[in-house]
Amino acid sequence: MKIGKIGLLTFITALLIGCGSSNSSENTDYSYVEKFMDEYIPKHMREHETVGLSIALIDNKKIVWQKGFGYADKMNNIEATPKTRYRAGSITKLFTGMATMKLVEEGKMDIDTPLKTYLPEFSIKSRFGSTDNITPRNIMTHHSGLPADWEDRMFDENPLPYNQLVDVIKDSFVAYEPNKIFSYSNLGVSLLGSAIEETSGELYADYVTRVLIDPMGMYNSDLEMELSGDMASKAYTQNKEVREYPLGSVPAGALNTTVTDLSQLAIMVNNQGNINDKQVITSDSLKKMFIIQNRDVKLDLNMKIVKIGLAWFIKTDILPDNEAVYQHDGDTIAHGASFMVAPDSKLGVVVLTNSSNANAEEIATTLLQKAWETKTGKKLLLDTTNEKVNSDFSIEGTYISSILGGKINIIKDSNRTYSIEASGESIPLTKTNHGTYISVYLEGLELYTQHIDGEDIIVGRIENKQTIIVAVKVVPHPIPNAWKNRLGKYTIINQQETESSQYPDIFLIIEDGFLLLKSVLGEEESTDILRVINDDEAINEGLGRGKRETVNFKDGVLNFSGLKFKYSQ
């Protein structure tokens, strides 16, 4: 879970268990890995303004190395250790997923049955027919079509509790029909947490603690809305201490833990659900969680954007020979986390940090790769084959792009040169011999166009590895007088308490025939294109997280994602 900077309707902006390696932890000397990380981590921390972090390496049933770097509390000179407690953010979703599967094991839940069966109060509007096809399965895979977040009081001194979300979203709309596209949703997982609560007959935190956290021996972990206790780390942004406010969406991101505790999850996974002679979750449940779920989702671009199981992200580009790494990252206001486990190699890595500038996933990847080389005695050789791609259509036109700040125009200058006009700037673009587009200003991002599932999109490929949707082509639609009469500046009524989620004034304007919502904060400009549905409702154009969500006017107030804005001039 990560708070978006501002931006309206923002882009916030992730098989089976192997039988295991013949190498055992007792036969592996990780001293080289420790020495390498002892040099690598302090350098990384300096470059990323990281005050403190803790890290652990797991091999099979043992933690083979764990250490703290920097400070848990810089002002009081308290060093970070493996026992320092951090907020793990969205890693909580792994526990929500496993709790769901525990209820399946108990015969109390079927993940392909409508969510409403287990959460009778659940109701949300849809432009795609019945919402009965929203199920625990597609919530766990972030393909439910539910909105990304309910922004109002997500982090707050008195946050909105997750079990009240089912009431406040009744007048909201889903963004997509289920299984249309991967669209990460904290809201969906929070609703699933409420379903777990009603089905188990226990509070969500009590059930998860009883069936997962305690059996794994995670005795320094909890699911409280706020991090507290003697071993709790402070939080920092650009080396400045900030407040980690309480979080109401407990099932989506409230796990407080240590690297020692979270290592128990890797040990349990490495041993097919067993730890401390306890079968915490069945091997069959784990196998089901590790099966890729989005093979047939066209807008996931043949899983080039993301591979996801049930709650787990599946990476096949970290280790050689497509060895699967099951992982999840997490972010809160300033704390960050990364968890990885590779059951074939029986390796696991945990990184927890107290600084928003840190890159926990990069550190975790580096450690896992070094440990794999040491354990296997092989050189890490990843497949860097540049798959040939071709554009489906010429790139010029108007697009909405979360990456490039909102509405952009791409203009053809000559046979092979184009310009991206975005937020008052012009970015040169060159067409390559094989029909893709590149720019020195896009830092290795190669672009190509694709027509997929009725959408004209620009796809971006980063260093031949990660693929993202960069932009979606849009055309003007009629703008009724009801919306034209609302043009002007709007000021937020329910301003959020946390500094990082403050919303500036927004402006409803018409530009080039498009209805836009625009905001400016410092040098950053964010723009959404609205497609009007009726006199009171519109959706923001685009694809992915935070897109195709509904903006509405009610009693003179502009509403979206739980935020309310009033006309000010």
CA 7 to chain centre: 17
In order, the DSSP letters of 440-480 are GGGTTEEEEEEEETTEEEEEEEETTTEEEEEEEE-------
Residue 15 has pLDDT above 90, yes or no: no
* Cβ pair 57, 349 in contact under 8 A: yes
CATH ID of 481-567, from 1.10.10, 2.60.40, 2.40.128, 3.40.50 = 2.40.128
**Pick from 59-63, 200-204, 464-468: least confident:** 464-468
Q: What is the pLDDT of residues 347-376, one digit of tens each?
A: 999 999 999 999 999 999 999 999 999 999
Residue 525 has pLDDT above 90, yes or no: no
* Cβ pair 236, 332 in contact under 8 A: no
The pLDDT, as a whole number, for residue 128 is 95
Q: What is the pLDDT of residues 214-262, one digit of tens each?
A: 999 999 999 999 999 999 999 999 999 999 999 999 999 999 999 999 9
Query: 23-375 maps to which CATH number?
Result: 3.40.710.10
Residues 6+ apart with CB under 8 A from 188: 139, 142, 144, 146
Residue 25 has pLDDT above 80, yes or no: no
The pLDDT, as a whole number, for residue 384 is 65
What's the pTM value of the predicted model, to 2 decimals?
Answer: 0.93
Nearest alpha-carbon partner for 199 in 97, 107, 92, 285 = 107
**CA dist., res. 439 & res. 431, Å (int):** 9
**CA dist., res. 356 & res. 51, Å (int):** 10
Of all helices (H) and strands (E), which one includes residue 364?
helix 360-376
Domain ranges of the chain: 23-375, 397-473, 481-567
Q: What is the pLDDT of residues 58-76, one digit of tens each?
A: 999 999 999 999 999 999 9
pLDDT band at 5 (very low <50, low <70, confident <90, very high): very low
**CA dist., res. 267 & res. 262, Å (int):** 9
Mean pLDDT of all residues belonging to the chain: 92
561 backbone φψ class: left, alpha, beta (φ>0; ψ -120 to 50): left
Q: What is the pLDDT of residues 288-319, one digit of tens each?
A: 999 999 999 999 998 888 999 999 999 999 99
Q: What is the pLDDT of residues 433-447, one digit of tens each?
A: 888 999 988 888 899
Nearest alpha-carbon partner for 257 in 303, 207, 217, 204 = 217
> Do 481-567 and 23-375 have the same topology in CATH?
no
The DSSP bridge partners found for residue 54 are 68, 352
Residue 12 has pLDDT above 90, yes or no: no
Nearest alpha-carbon partner for 557 in 481, 493, 483 = 493
